[in-house]
Each structure stands twice: as structure tokens, then as C-alpha cells.
Homo-oligomer: A and B are copies of this chain.
């Protein structure tokens, strides 16, 4: 059962092909005093960074499905790697959640050896996914020759918005509420700017096991600039069997009801609800 794989860094999923680096040997094993002819060093393969979408296969693009059918290795956070079906010739590497740059380096190393690698993200790899982490790791000059290609995917904000109606029908902002990689003071500045400019706001990473106060802090900051009646959509596990969707207001939002599986959409002043309980933001602003 691949889902039982423990989430530590870069283990090969049991039962998968063992990796057999093709080029590494050529690079590392030249005896002292011998010059390795360039022609024996295979060219670096491309690192693909792909988004699997927010859950079900019906949201994986044909482009990503085809790419995953052709690579030698898949690397990513274990639950995403588990979503790539095993097949002959594919090695899947599962890693923990907060080791993005280590994971990216492992992918770049494999590509340098001529192995075709896909780094997998949930959602869109370019939106709080692995794409930026791969470019971060690739700043190391050792990886200068490795091409990086990102393939887009559906992101959580899109499926929560679609499930709710059309809450991002006007201008909007997309923010991560995690202060793991940026200071909270900056997050607060951005929240105020977004609220004052009356943009719809989509919030990723509202809470984690170690970050438990951010939603309440956000609510307090936004309420200084926005009405308590502002429409708020809370999507949880949207697209999965256990999905839930709640349409509430900024004043009534209960921060304790939010966990790491939630995505929030805070409406603009014009955002409204229908009699059927859907939320939408008009295209027009008077």
C-alpha cells in the first residue's frame, strides 16, 4: 500500500524500480589525471515540474498525464507521489512535507545524470507548489545546464471557487497565510492592502499544526477594513469524497473551524449569495 510509506526524505516507494543513475558514474568516476571526453557525459535531462490538480484525476490535464507516462522518476511529497500510478520503468521517490529544496536538488541531480524526472505538486506547481523551490535549488551553478520546464495544473482556489459559484469573478489576490517563509508583518501589510483595495482574497495555508493563530489574526485585520457581512467561502478537501463547502461571513467565520486542508475565499464588498447558497462576485463595480 503506497499510502503507508513514512514521510521522510526521499525514500524509494517499496516495490518500485531501484534507481540506476546512468550518467553520474561518467561524471564522478574519472581517475585522477585522466580527462573524461565530453562526448561520454550524457547531456542533462529536463526537470519537469507538474501540478496534479487538487485531488481527483478528472482535474489532471492531458499534458500532465502524458508527461508522467514518460519520465523515469517522480519526486514529491508522499501523498502526491502516491497519486502517480506505478508502471514498469518508473521510480517514485516520496519525501516529507517541508523539505522542498532538498527534494528539488534530488530531482536536479537525477536530471544531471540524464534521468528524466518529474517533480510533482498538488494543485498548480506554480502557485505555492514546487516550481519556485526547483528554481531556488537551481541557483546552484552545478545545475546551470539542467533545463526546467513547468506544466500548469488546476489550483485549489479554482476548484473551491467553481464549487461555490463565481466568487473570484472580479479582481482578486492570492496569498499564503504561512509565516514560515515570510514575516507576519508583511502578511499583515498585504492583507490591509488587499482589504482596502476591495479585492477578493483567496487564502492558502491558513493553518497548520504549529501555526494556529493566523486565521484569527487575519480576521481581525480584515475586519478593520471590511464589513462583518463580507461573504466568506471555506472549501475543505474540495473534489474528494470528504469535501465540505461553507458559505459564511467575515464576522461569523470561526477560526477554530479552519484546518490545513481548508482554502478560504474572502469576498469583495460586491460579493453576494444566491437563494441556492452560491457565492459570486459581479464583474462590474459601480
Contacts and interface: CB of A to CB of B under 8 A. Distances in A.
B174 A173 contact: yes
A40 interface: no
Interface residues of A, number: 73
A280 B132 contact: yes
A7 interface: no
Contacts of A193: 193-194, 196-197, 199
**How many copies of this protein are present in the complex?**
2
A102 to B, nearest CB: 14
A282 B136 contact: yes
Nearest to A134: B166
Interface string A112-127: 0000000000001111
Interface hub of A126, A165, A169, A196 (most chain B Cβ within 10 A):
A126
A126 B276 contact: no
10 contacts: A58-B63, A59-B61, A61-B61, A126-B168, A127-B168, A135-B278, A153-B154, A181-B283, A186-B198, A194-B197
Given A60-B62, A152-B154, A194-B197, 18 more contacts: A58-B61, A59-B62, A59-B152, A60-B61, A126-B158, A126-B167, A127-B158, A136-B280, A144-B275, A147-B276, A148-B165, A150-B162, A152-B162, A153-B154, A171-B174, A173-B199, A189-B197, A190-B198
Interface of A: 49, 53, 57-63, 66, 100, 124-128, 131-136, 138-139, 144, 147-148, 150-155, 158-159, 161-163, 165-176, 181-183, 186, 189-190, 192-194, 196-199, 274-276, 278, 280-285
